[in-house]
Amino acid sequence: MQGKIIVVTGALGALGKVVAETAQSRGARVAGIDHAPSQAPATPESIEIGGVDLSDAAKAKTAVGAAARHFGRIDALINIAGGFAFETVGDGDIKTWHRMYALNVLTALNASRAALPHLAASKAGRIVNIGAMSALQAGSGMGSYAASKAGVHRLTEALASEWKGKVTVNAVLPSIIDTRANRADMPKADFSRWVTPQELTEVILFLASDAASGVTGALIPVGGRV
């Protein structure tokens, strides 16, 4: 990661914070973009761009452009911004399907479209998306979420094909991530079977590194203990 310029969306969330902090600890400079507001001052090593609705293409382009101007270039985009909902298909609200599509597909699509010209100019442009194991086979209550994450998987494959030889595009497919929120929602679960943010971060940063130059279009499950 030494010397890399990395944009992390959802950077103020449980996983985003770990990815951003770990990347910085390994020598990367990081631009964090998030829907939540941020008052953190910009430094030569990092910038936080808060209050951004990445489901809005124009706002995504403005935020990514600000990151590129701050550092002079972008080498990798890590699309972590997203959301989750648990509703059965029959009893759920159609608005949830629209919300999941906006939070999971449109955020990744808009950030990627905004970043691709910058990434193509890099000698090692990378996009890493966050899919989901549950999108491979959806269970009860997972319809809207799994459908949106399946969209992320197909977006990953399409971008990898379209930008082959210029930018690598891959996705990690986590099982349940061991976060404070997930523990609160599922207090009786066996947390030892979940994937930790740090375990997931290691795979994400590998895919964003020079060592992963030969990997593109891959959908990589992480956390198979569940």
pTM comes to: 0.96
44 CB burial (10 A radius; 0-12, 13-18, 19+): exposed
For residues 187-218, b (16+ Cβ closer than 10 Å) or e, as one string?
eeeeeeebbbbebbbebbbebbbeebeeebbb
CB 203 within 8 A of CB 18: no
pLDDT at 124: 94
Q: What is the pLDDT along the chain (226 residues), one digit of tens a residue?
A: 999 999 999 999 999 999 999 999 999 999 999 999 998 999 999 999 999 999 999 999 999 999 999 999 999 999 999 999 999 999 999 999 999 999 999 999 999 999 999 999 998 999 999 999 999 999 999 999 999 999 999 999 999 999 999 999 999 999 998 888 999 989 999 898 899 999 999 999 999 999 999 999 999 999 865 4
